[in-house]
Chains A and B, each alone.
Chain A
Amino acid sequence: MHWTISKKILAGYGITILVVIALCTSVFINLRALRAEFDDRTQSRDKLEALATLDILLRDAETGQRGFVITGNDTYLEPNRNAHSALTTTLDRLKELCANDTNETVLISNLRRDIKTKLDEMDATITLRRDKGFEAAAAVVNTNQGKQLMDDMRTAIGSFRSDEAAQAKASLDRVNDRIETLNLSMEVIAPVAILLMLAIGIITARSISRPLEAITGAAGQIARGEIEVQVTPGTGEDEVSRLSRSFEQMVRTLKNSAATSARIAAGDLTVEVKPQSSADLVGRSQADMIAQLSALISQVQQSGVQVNSSSVEIAAVAKQQQATASEVASTTTEISSTAREMSATSTELLKTADHVSMIASETATLATQGKEKLNRMEKTIQQISEASGTVTSRLGVMNEKAGNINAVITTITKVADQTNLLSLNAAIEAEKAGEYGKGFSVVATEIRRLADQTAASSSDIERIVKELLSAVSAGVMGMDKFAEEVRRGATEIGETRHQLDDVIGQVQSLAPSVETLHEGMRAQTQGAEQISDALSQLGEAARQTADSIRDSGRAVEQLNDASRGLQGAISQFKIRS
C-alpha cells in the first residue's frame, strides 16, 4: 500500500473517529441499561404498593366480618363490602404488573384463589350470623379455618414482597456496576484516545515536514550555485518522497551538465550529451556545441595530417632524389675507376699473352718427348700380356692334374671301404668259429684299423686337393682380371698418345691467335681512357644536383615542424572517432 500524505491524514482521523465512536457506544449502552433498571425499579415499587394494599384490604375485610359477627350490625360490614371490589381491582392491577413474570403470575392466581376462598368463607360466616345468629357464626370462626387461610395468605404476600426486595437489591448492584463502567470509560479510555490522537498528529506532521526541510536546505544551496549537495531520495510512495526523488534527479542532471561543461572546457569532446527532453535547452546547446567543436577540430586535424603527410612525402622524395644523385655520382666514379682498371688489365694481358705463346712452344716440345716414352711403354705392356697368357695355361694344366689325383683318391676310398667290409665279415666268421677263430679275429680287427686309417688319410688328401683346386681357379680368375687390366692400360696409352698429338697441333696453331689478341688489347686500352674522362664530367654534375636537393629537404623539414606544432595544439582536444 502506498502511503500518500492524504491517506496518512485520513488514516489518523479515521482512527480518532473510531475511538470516539467506541467511547460513545459504550456510554450509550450503559445509559440504556441504567434506564431499563430504573423502569424495572418503578414497576417493582408499584407491585410492592399493590401487595401492601392487598394486605390492608384483607385486614379491612376481616375487620368488617369480625365486627358484623360480633355485633350483627350491618354498619360494620361496610369495610368488608368495600374490600370486595377493591381486592378485585388491586389483583387485576397486580396481574397486569406481573404479566412478564410467569412465577409471579402463578403466585397471583394462587393468591386470587385464596382470597376468593377467604371472601367466600367470610360471606358464609356473615350469612350464617345473619340467618342463625352469633353462636353458629362464632362456632365457625372458632374452627380457626379463617385464621389459617389468613395466615397462609399473609405468608404468601410476605414472601412475594421479600422476593421483590431481593430483586431490588440485585438491581441496585447492577446499577452500581454500570456506573463504575461509565466512570472507567471516562477516566481511562478518554485520556488514551486523546494521547493517541496527539501521537498520530505529531507523526504525520513530522513525516511531511522533515524531508521538506532537507529539500528546502538543498534548494537554498543550489540557488547560491553550490551544486555539490547531497540529497537522500525518499523510498516511499508519498508526495514528499516523490518530490525528493525528482529533486535528487534534478541535482544529478545539474551535476552531469556541470561535469560535461568541465570536460568540454578541458578539451575532451568525447563526452556524450543526451538532452533529457526536447525542452532541455542546456543539454541541447551542449550537444550542439560538442558537435560543432568536434567537426571543426577533426577538420583541422585532418588538414594537419594532410600537411604533415605531404611534407613527409616531399621530404622522402627529396631524400630519394638526393640518394639517387649521390648514387649516380658514386656510380660514375666507380665506372671511371673500372675503365681505368680495364686499361691497366689489358696492358697486363698483353704481357700474359706473350708469356702464353712462349709456354706453348715449350709444351709442344714436351708433348713430343712424352709421345716417344708412351711408345716404349706400349711395347712393355705387350710383353706383360703374353706372359700372363702363359701363366693362365700353366694353371689349367695344374687343374687337370688335381682332377687326376681326385680319381685316384676315389679308388683308394673304395678299396678302403671294401677292406672294412671284408674285415667285418671276417670278425663275424671268426666269432662263429669260437676258440679257433680267435687269432683270426685279431687279424680282422687289425685289417679294419688299417682300412679306417686309409679312409681317413684319403679323406685328408681329398680335402687338400679340393683346397688346391679352389686356389688354382682363384689364380686363373686373378690372371684373367690382370690380363684385362693390361689390355685396358694399352688402350689408354693409345688414347693418351692421340691426345698428345692434338695438344701439339693446337699449341702450334696458338701463335697467330696471340698476335691478334695483342692488337685488340691495345685498342681497348685507348677506349677505356676516353670513357674515364667522360664519366668524370658526369660525376661532377650529379654532385651539384645532390647539393640543391639537400637544400630543398631542409625547407621541407621546417614545414614538417610547423605542421607538427599545429597537430600538438589540436591533439589537446579529444573527439569521438
Chain B
Amino acid sequence: MLHLLVRLGNDAYAIGTSDVRRIVPLARLKALPSDMAAVAGVLNFHGQAVPVLDLTRLLTGAPSREILGTRIVVADVELRGAGPRLLGLVVEGAHSVARLDPSQFQPAGIRPDGREWLGPVIEHEDMLVQRIEIASLLPTEVVDALIRDSETALFA
C-alpha cells in the first residue's frame, strides 16, 4: 500500500495515499480567525474553499516552518455520518512516497489520550515510521465546526 512519508517535528510519519486527493505547494491561505490553534486557514483548491489544519502544530504545538518540502496534503475525510469532506493538512518534508505493507505495522505500545490518530509503527530505511490515521485525526471541536458549516450551506 502506498504511503506518503512526512516529517513532523523530529520524527518521520506515514499517511496512507488512498484518501489523498492532491499534494499542493504551500500557498498563501485565507486566514480563518478561530480559537482552534491547529486551523491554519482556508485554501483555494481549484475554486473550492478547503479548510486547512497544521499537523505539525497539532502534534508539537509549534507551526510548520516555511521551508522546501513543506506542503499541503488535500484529502477526503469522513465526518461522523455527515459524508466526506475535503481537508488540507500542512506537513513538513513531504518529499517521497513508499510502499509499506499494512500487515508489517505493529502497535506503538502507548497511545496518549487525544492523540488517537497516531497509529501503529513500522521500520523503514532504518527509521521508525508511525502511521497517521486521517479518519480519526480531527479534534471533536473541529469536526463540530465542519458539520455546522455544511448544514448552513444546505439551508442557504
Contact = CB atoms under 8 A, between A and B. Distances in A.
Interface of A: 413, 417-418, 420-421, 424-425, 427-428, 431-432, 448, 452
A417 B68 contact: yes
A448 B96 CA distance: 8
Contact of B23 (A424, A431, A432): A424
Contact of B97 (A413, A417, A427): A427
A424 B94 CA distance: 9
B22 interface: yes
B95 interface: yes
Q: Which 10 A-B pairs have the closest CB atoms?
A: A431-B2, A428-B17, A427-B97, A424-B23, A428-B20, A425-B23, A431-B17, A425-B22, A417-B68, A424-B97
B4 interface: yes
A217 to B, nearest CB: 128
A431 B18 CA distance: 8
Interface in B1-37: 2, 4, 17-18, 20, 22-25
Given A413-B68, A417-B68, A421-B71, A428 B97 contact: yes
B70 to A, nearest CB: 11
A321 B134 CA distance: 123
Contacts of B25: 417-418, 421
B79 to A, nearest CB: 22
Contacts of B22: 425, 428
Nearest to A449: B96
Contacts of A420: 95
Interface in B34-90: 68-69, 71
Nearest to A428: B17
Contacts of B2: 427-428, 431
A531 to B, nearest CB: 100
Contacts of B69: 417
A538 to B, nearest CB: 105
A425 B75 CA distance: 12
A432 B25 CA distance: 21
Contacts of A452: 95
Nearest to B95: A420
A425 B20 CA distance: 9
11 contacts: A413-B68, A417-B69, A421-B23, A424-B4, A424-B94, A424-B96, A424-B97, A425-B22, A427-B17, A428-B17, A428-B20
A448 B94 CA distance: 12
A421 B22 CA distance: 10
Contacts of B94: 424
Interface in B82-112: 94-97
Contacts of B20: 428
B46 to A, nearest CB: 13
Nearest to B69: A417
Given A428-B4, A428-B20, A432-B18, 17 more contacts: A417-B25, A418-B25, A420-B95, A421-B23, A421-B71, A424-B23, A424-B95, A424-B96, A428-B17, A428-B22, A428-B23, A428-B97, A431-B2, A431-B17, A448-B96, A448-B97, A452-B95
A384 to B, nearest CB: 48
Nearest to A452: B95
Contacts of B71: 421
Contacts of A417: 25, 68-69
B69 to A, nearest CB: 8
Contacts of A421: 23-25, 71
Nearest to B94: A424
A189 B18 CA distance: 160
Contacts of A413: 68
B117 to A, nearest CB: 20
Nearest to A431: B2
A214 B83 CA distance: 155
A417 to B, nearest CB: 6
Contacts of A427: 2, 17, 97
Nearest to B21: A428
Nearest to A418: B25
A429 B25 CA distance: 17
A115 B143 CA distance: 176
B81 to A, nearest CB: 25
A418 B17 CA distance: 19
A420 to B, nearest CB: 6
Contacts of B68: 413, 417
B19 to A, nearest CB: 10
